[in-house]
Structures are given as structure tokens and as C-alpha cells.
Amino acid sequence: MTTMTGLGRAGARLLGGAALAVALSFGGATGMAEAKDKFVFANSSAYDTLDPHAIFDVGRVASRLNLYDGLMRWLDNPPVLEPWLAESYTISDDGLTYTFVLREGATFHDGSAIEASDVVYSIERILALKKGAFSLFADVIEPGSTKAPDARTVVFTLTKPSAIFLATVPEIHVVNEELVRANEVDGDWGGAWLSQNGAGSGSFELTRYDPAIGFQAKRFEDHFMGWGEKYFDEIEFRTVVEINSRVLGLLNGDFHGTDGYLPQDQVKRLRESDEVAVDEQESMRIFYSIIHNGREPFDDVNLRKAISYAFDYNAFIEDILSGSVARNPVPLPNNIWGAPAGVEGYTYDLEKAKEYLAKVEGEIPEITLGALAGYGQTEQAAALLQNGLNKIGVKTKIVAEPWAVASAKMRDEQQMYDLLFLWRSTYYADPNNWVGEMYACDQVGARNNSWYCDPEVDKLLMAARVETDQDKRAAAYEAAAKKVMDDAAGVFVYNTKWFGPFNKSVKGVRFSPIGNGQEMRWAYFE
């Protein structure tokens, strides 16, 4: 047997070369540059399109709010609806005609004047594309019905009175008709072009975009709302999918802000840092479990009540979530008008749960508790409920599936889980966004995924949709929310708090549950 020892010179050279390559690589690390005059935000969602009419999710709100304007805008918390591109508006007595007058002198980024025809084109584009916020307008605006009698007046004529129309107007982001039309291909309403270009008038003007990275924009000096004394000259929103990478990037100064719905251990980590300040506000995003009211035996209110009493709300909020959320016992966020005050809601009470369970007739099959894979809280909540139900002798199984799967099942009466934990976010700050859609009979299988249809509740909700007096609407929503809770149509757990983490040098961030603190026109570096 031959044995060999020693490498010889050639081997040493090879190794030396490898070592040099490594050393060379590390030598380059010192070239890190840090942006000082540009605000950089790390976002969990990808900016895969910039078309403001193709998207309507909270995760990608920054491109819509910073690059585009609407006639109205939701500001602050609790959100207030303010005229924005519109200088004023009037509503006809029959509640069918909404007339907006545009501000004088407002221009798009290319310097052309914003005219009423641009607003008309924008709503027609939304209706034609059937994407993004289309669902908000599909029932109330007919294509071709919106008119521009003069350059500054826009008239919307609704097909039926709608008390929530005004609340949804901010989602009509106004695009530059001439510019978009010039880039239309095969009747696509400029979709391909607008997905990666800007045609707006927003506070910031798009300068760079890469769907794999994010977007960069510079301040639009001529914005019709003017500017304060301090502002960012440039903003950049980057996609960083990993939570840990977003947090580390914020800690070492790569980013100046990130999303405000991080897990509590990460929020704690950020709070302990000298570099980061965490702004805490109660948002409008409720966490609850849908119960399939249309399926036996869940159509029995006694079983639903037994389930509601078997969930340990206190343990979930205080122990699992470290008290970082607010108990919210009804299908409306605590902090919106129309939410009933002083309602205690269900508590964790196994004796009562057993009591109601005893009233249920027939066998109770194994209950499927749905959760969203990758969203730990939904799985933890399902496990906690499973524990409670086990103690009262109800068998359960937890099924955690990706949102893409769950969102498909939610629309199918047969495939829908018996229960499913999830959140309901703010798309527009009106009670209709929650109880009004979640439990209305005309939304069954669409936005009502509980198959709950109660004539009394429905009457209240339908009346509130057309009533223009807010006090009367508030009374209707209060009554409806209480009734839904009494019927235990779902397990209502908490309202989210927003923990907006920003570099300490960033000041002036204005949080609104719609914008999630990502509209940057008021923020600046100190």
C-alpha cells in the first residue's frame, strides 16, 4: 500500500490562491455606502406592479399613496376623510349624485394640468380592468356614467344611494389620461406600461423601479398641497421578505423604517435599540375566527356560543401576544364610530361552554380549525381553541394552509373550513368595511365567508348602507354588531396595534390605518 505525505509546492500555490481570493473578497466589504439624504423603507410585500388600479392591498399601499392622488384622502388615526385633489364636493338630496370640484392649478408630474377628464378616465379604467379596488365601485357606478362637465368638475351618478361611496373615493387614484393612452397596447388601458411607470401627481415622482427590488421617487416640488419646512428629498421602498432581515437592516441603519406589524419579540428587540423608535397606535385590523354558520351543526347558536366560551382570550392576548393588542369583542374595531361601547363579549368559561354544548342536539363531528400557514398567530389561536374544545369533549383537527389555498376555500360553501382564524384589515374607514361586509346577506360567499344571514342584522346593515346621517348609521352598526356577537357568528378576539419602527432620526410620520404610516410627505430627517 502506498502512502503519501506532504503537498508539495503546487498544492501550496493553489491554497494560497484560494486564500487570496477570500481575502480580496473581504477587502471589498469596506466599500459600504450609507444613504444619508434618502429615506429607505423595507417592505414585506413585493412591489411587483405600480399600477394603482391593479392593486388594492395594504402591503403595497406605499406606491399608491406616494405616487398618486385621489379626490379625497384618509388621514390620521382615527382616520378622517379630507378633501385632497378635490377642493370641495356636494351630494344631491337623493344621495345619487356626487359632484367634486378639483383644485385649481394642480398638475401631474409631467407638468400637465389635472383635469376632470383624468378623473373620469381613472374610474372608467378601474371599471374596465376589474382589478384592484373594482369591487368597491362595481355595484354603484355604471361604466360611462361619470361625467366631466368642465375641466374642474366631476360628477358621479350612482346606480343606487350609497352611504359608503365617499369613503371609497380615495381609492380612485387619478392617472394622467393623455400619458396612459399614449402607452396603451391592444386595448390594455396602458396596463403593461403603467405596471412599471408613473403617470400620477403624487407627493413623490417615480425615478427608478425594479420589480425585483422596489421603487425610488423624488419629491414633487409642485405638488398641489404644498410642502412644510422639512421633508425627504428622496424616498425608496424596497422589498425585504424576511422579517429578520428587515429588523437587522433597521438596527444597523440600512433602512429607516419597516412595517408595523412585526412579531412582538422583534418589536421588543427594536425597542431595546438606541437607533430605533417604535411608535405605538391602535390600528383597525381585527383578528377573529370565521365560523361556518351555514353548515350543520354550526347553524345551532348553542354550539357557536360553546365555541366562543372555549377560547382563552386572556391567555392569547396577555401570554402569547404579551398584551400587545386590545381585546375586541365585536366585528368592528373598538376605535371606529359605530362600535358598541362597553361590551364585554365572551370570556373563557368552560362551565358555560359545557352548558351550551349540552343544548346542542345530535352528534358533533370532528371540527376543522383552519389557520393560515406561515402566520403563526392564526396557528397559535387554533391550538388554543383546540385545547379549550378538547376540555369540553369536542374533537378537533387543525388544518394550516397557505393564504392562496384558504382564500379559495373561503368562497366555497362546501370547501370552507368549519372555523378559520384570520384578520380583517382596513380598506376604507367605515363600519361597512367590517360588519357591513362580513355579515351582510348579499355578500354571502364573497365577502361574507360565514354564510351567516340574519334578517334583523341584514335590515340594519342595508339601512346603514344608504342612510346619510352618520348618527343613525352608527346606531344601526352598533345594533348589528351586538346581534352578531350575541349570535356568536364568529369568535372575535382582538384589534391590532401598529408598532411602527423608524430610525430615531425620522420624524413627522403620520399614521393612518389605511396608509399604515407609509405616506411620507410629512416625514423628515431631524
Partner 1 sequence: MRTLVLIVNRLLWFVPTLIGLMVITFTISHIIPADPVAFFAGENATPEQIAALRAEYGFDQPIHVQLWRYFIGVLQGDFGVSLYTQRPIADDLVSRLPATMELTIMAVLVSAVLGIPLGVIAAVYRNSPLDHVLRILTVSGLAIASFWLAILFQLFFAMELGWTPLQGRIDGWGPDKITGFFLIDSVLGDDWESFWSALSHMILPVATLAFPAMATIVRFTRAGVLDAINSNYVLYEQAMGFPRRVIVWKFVLRNALIGTVTQIGLIFGILIAGAVVVEAVFDWPGLGLYAVQSILNSDYNAIMGFTLVSGAIFIVVNLLVDIAHGLIDPRAAG
By CB under 8 A, name the one of 14, 151, 225, 466 that touches partner 1.
14
Per CB under 8 A, which of residues 176..205 are in contact with partner 1? 191-192, 195-196
- CB atoms under 10 Å from CB of 241, counted, come to 11
By CB under 8 A, name the one of 218, 268, 354, 447 that touches partner 1.
447
Least distance from partner 1 to the Cβ atom of residue 404, Å:
4
Least distance from partner 1 to the Cβ atom of residue 18, Å:
5
Whether the ω angle into residue 78 lies within 30 degrees of 0, i.e. cis, is yes
Nearer to partner 1, 18 or 358 (CB): 18
Nearer to partner 1, 25 or 341 (CB): 25
- Residue pair 141/127 in contact (Cβ under 8 Å)? The answer is yes
Nearer to partner 1, 26 or 93 (CB): 26
By CB under 8 A, name the one of 105, 187, 212, 469 that touches partner 1.
212
By CB under 8 A, name the one of 76, 88, 92, 138 that touches partner 1.
138
Q: Which stretch binds partner 1 (CB under 8 A): 66-74, 325-333, 401-409, 515-523?
A: 401-409
* DSSP-derived secondary structure letter, 340: P
Least distance from partner 1 to the Cβ atom of residue 203, Å:
21
Question: How many residues does the structure list for the chain?
Answer: 526
Nearest CA to 503 out of 197, 205, 252, 276 is that of: 276
Surface-to-core class of residue 2, CB atoms within 10 Å of its CB (0-12 exposed, 13-18 middle, 19+ buried): exposed
By CB under 8 A, name the one of 160, 181, 208, 395 that touches partner 1.
208
248 is an interface residue for partner 1 by CB under 8 A: yes
What is the distance in angstroms between the CA of the first residue and the CA of the last residue of the chain? 75
30 is an interface residue for partner 1 by CB under 8 A: yes
Answer positive or negative: Cα dihedral of 301, 369, 376, 317. Answer: positive
Surface-to-core class of residue 182, CB atoms within 10 Å of its CB (0-12 exposed, 13-18 middle, 19+ buried): exposed
Nearest CA to 391 out of 361, 362, 357 is that of: 357
Per CB under 8 A, which of residues 415..434 are in contact with partner 1? 415, 427
Least distance from partner 1 to the Cβ atom of residue 372, Å:
11
56 is an interface residue for partner 1 by CB under 8 A: yes
By CB under 8 A, name the one of 103, 131, 295, 507 that touches partner 1.
131
Phi-psi region of 343 (alpha: psi -120 to 50; beta: other; left: phi over 0): beta
- 3-class DSSP assignment, residue 236: strand
Least distance from partner 1 to the Cβ atom of residue 17, Å:
7
Q: What is the DSSP track for 355-381? A: HHHHT--S--PPEEEEEETT-HHHHHH
Least distance from partner 1 to the Cβ atom of residue 351, Å:
36
